[in-house]
A = this chain, B = another copy of it.
Amino acid sequence: MTSPRHDVIGIGNAIVDVIARHDDAFLSDNELGKGSMQLVDEAGALALYDKLGPAVEISGGSAANTITGVTSLGGRARYVGKVADDQLGGVFAHDIRAAGVSYDTEALSGGPQTARCIVVVTPDGQRTMSTFLGASALLHEDDVHETQIADAKITYLEGYLWDRPEAKAAFRKAAALATKNDRSTALTLSDAFCVDRHRDSFLDLIRGGVDLLFANEAELLSLYQTEDFDAAVQQVRKDCQLAAITRSEKGSVVITPGEIHEVAAQPVAQVVDTTGAGDLYAAGFLFGMAHERALPECARLGHVAAAEIISHIGARPEKNLSALI
């Protein structure tokens, strides 16, 4: 078997972010839970957009952000995710290819528009997201190709895919192909409410052989329905071989059945927009894993990438991350 050309193949919802700044009152006026991600239909997205202030459009999508982080760090990566054949789909495809990522998922014709995530950034830098999944939810298992999975060391999957049946089938197929081809699988839980919607099947997935689990503290607590972080850590080390748990400014904890590493966050002069912090932590960690770095170094790379992303608007790197590490 030839060695894989790519470090990571990421599969996720292909989304364009629509980012606007508002104060906290906007969140309460529109019944948005601060820091959360809620799914909205097209009418809901349009109604919220009507109330939204002037915005900026930037390519996003959790796994897509991670994958562009990997290439920015100097890694080689592929992305699989579905846009429509409309202007915003063109923007998404351009931006991810311009970041050096291999991307050739066929665009959807005649269906819903390219997915959009309305991101409200409050003065504290927190982001609150309302996502219209549109074409992204119609990612199909036929979009997942065995040669591409076999050609990457790690297959990285976002939990958000689990929200829709077609995308879920694509997710399952990718995970099965990775295992069949002796490649690693990594999963991010994506969002505490996403975990809440799919707790049992996520636990089945993790126990069934995910090699690397990413979660933030809230997602881990939701997974094990506890408020005790240490108890959750003890649970996850029984359920999987490797977990990397982010805790915002407290850094991250890397957990294996035999070891626990606490790694400090990188200092940030000013937190502008936390959108993508978890995605970029995963980018650094995955890059480290693909290049056989020690676990604490993988976490450090994650924190360096996350620190860059929260220093500006948007969830794609503005600087060449390889220069920062």
Interface residues of A (CB under 8 A from B): 20-21, 49-50, 52-59, 68, 86-88, 91, 94-96, 98-99, 113, 313-314, 316, 318
Contacts and interface: CB of A to CB of B under 8 A. Distances in A.
A94 B56 contact: no
Nearest to A113: B87
A145 to B, nearest CB: 24
A90 to B, nearest CB: 9
Contact of A55 (B49, B50, B55, B94): B94
B54 A56 contact: no
A314 B20 CA distance: 13
Contact of A98 (B53, B58, B99, B313): B53
Contacts of A113: 87
A258 to B, nearest CB: 40
Q: Is the interface of A mostly helix, strand, loop or mixed?
A: mixed
A58 B57 contact: yes
Closest 6 CB pairs of A and B: A57-B57, A87-B87, A54-B95, A54-B98, A53-B98, A54-B99
B54 A316 contact: yes
A52 B97 CA distance: 10
A317 to B, nearest CB: 8
Contacts of A86: 86-87
Contacts of A50: 94
A233 to B, nearest CB: 36
Contacts of A49: 94
Nearest to A99: B54
A79 to B, nearest CB: 13
Nearest to A316: B54
Contacts of A53: 98-99
Nearest to A16: B57
Contacts of A88: 87
Contacts of A58: 56-57
Determine which residue in A54, A87, A99 has the highest number of CB atoms from chain B within 10 A of its CB, and name it: A54
B314 A56 contact: yes
Contacts of A87: 86-88, 113
A126 B184 CA distance: 45
A158 B269 CA distance: 40
A86 to B, nearest CB: 6
Nearest to A51: B98
Determine which residue in A53, A57, A91 has the highest number of CB atoms from chain B within 10 A of its CB, and name it: A57
Contacts of A68: 54
A279 B86 CA distance: 31
Contact of A56 (B52, B56, B96, B99): B56
Contacts of A54: 59, 68, 94-96, 98-99, 316
